[in-house]
């Protein structure tokens, strides 16, 4: 399973159109045809799912891309607003998967560090890492105290408050349309 997952990730990094990519394209195109023109579709993409979503968006028409709001959690591929309406990704400082996306390294501006502690020494270490990171569309989160050592799972407590806040914001915004 892991070998297949890694192999699919490697081919996906080169833009190979897999079955999941085609399914995503179909869902976005159907949404585009059947929903009001100002409606937006929220995509929560985790790990390899972010790579599949990126590859799907990259081959769609601009008007279809601009219907998608992307929330990446520990993404294997960083998605930008060049191929979506809006995009933001989050990773734990104790995760390495997002660091493999060399094409996602687009600049140092926009880095933010979200902390679950007030310990200034700890924040200083975290800040130094964040400032050296070259990702623009990625926020590095300090792991929740109950998070595992390798903090990659979408179910990690590190991501829960961020997910809840962003989903609630999406629902409120869509209700106003």
Enclosing domain of residue 162: 2-175
More confident residue, 110 or 175: 175
Per-residue confidence (pLDDT) for residue 31, from 0 to 100: 96
When divided into structural domains, the chain yields a total of 1
pLDDT of residue 38 exceeding 60, the answer is yes
Interatomic CA distance for residues 54 and 161, integer angstroms: 24
Helix (H) or strand (E) holding 88: strand 86-92
Q: What is the pLDDT of residue 115?
A: 45
CA distance 94 to 129: 11
Share above pLDDT 90 across residues of the chain, in percent, rounded to a whole number: 58
Residues 131-159 pLDDT 10s: 544 356 788 899 999 999 999 999 999 99
Asked if the model's pLDDT at residue 175 lies above 50, the reply is yes
State which H helix or E strand residue 44 sits in. Answer: strand 41-46
d(CA 13, CA 113): 27
Per-residue pLDDT reduced to its tens digit, 155-168: 999 999 999 999 99
What's the pLDDT tens digit per position in 90-116?
Answer: 999 999 888 887 554 443 333 444 444
pLDDT at position 107 is 35
Does position 15 have pLDDT exceeding 80, yes or no? Answer: no
pLDDT value at residue 59: 94
Provide the whole-model pTM.
Answer: 0.77
Residue in the structure block whose two tokens are 């809006």: 86
Kindly report, residue by residue over 61-91, the tens digit of the pLDDT. Answer: 999 999 999 999 999 999 988 999 999 999 9
- Cα 26 from Cα 49, distance rounded (Å): 15
pLDDT band with cut points at 50, 70 and 90 for residue 120: very low
């Amino acid at each position: 399973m892991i070998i297949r997952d890694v192999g699919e990730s490697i081919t996906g990094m080169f833009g190979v159109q897999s079955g999941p990519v085609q399914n995503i394209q179909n869902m976005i195109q159907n949404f585009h045809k059947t929903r009001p023109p100002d409606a937006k579709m929220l995509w929560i993409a985790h790990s390899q799912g972010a790579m599949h979503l990126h590859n799907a968006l990259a081959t769609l028409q601009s008007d279809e891309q601009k219907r998608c709001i992307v929330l990446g959690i520990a993404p294997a591929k960083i998605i930008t607003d060049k191929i979506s309406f809006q995009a933001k990704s989050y990773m734990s400082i104790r995760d390495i998967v997002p660091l493999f996306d060399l094409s996602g390294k687009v600049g140092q501006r926009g880095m933010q560090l979200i902390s679950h502690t007030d310990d200034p020494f700890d924040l200083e270490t975290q800040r130094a890492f964040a400032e050296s990171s070259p990702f623009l569309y990625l926020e590095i989160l300090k792991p929740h105290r109950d998070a595992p050592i390798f903090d990659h799972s979408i179910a990690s407590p590190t991501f829960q408050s961020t997910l809840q806040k962003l989903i609630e914001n999406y629902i409120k915004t869509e209700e106003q349309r």
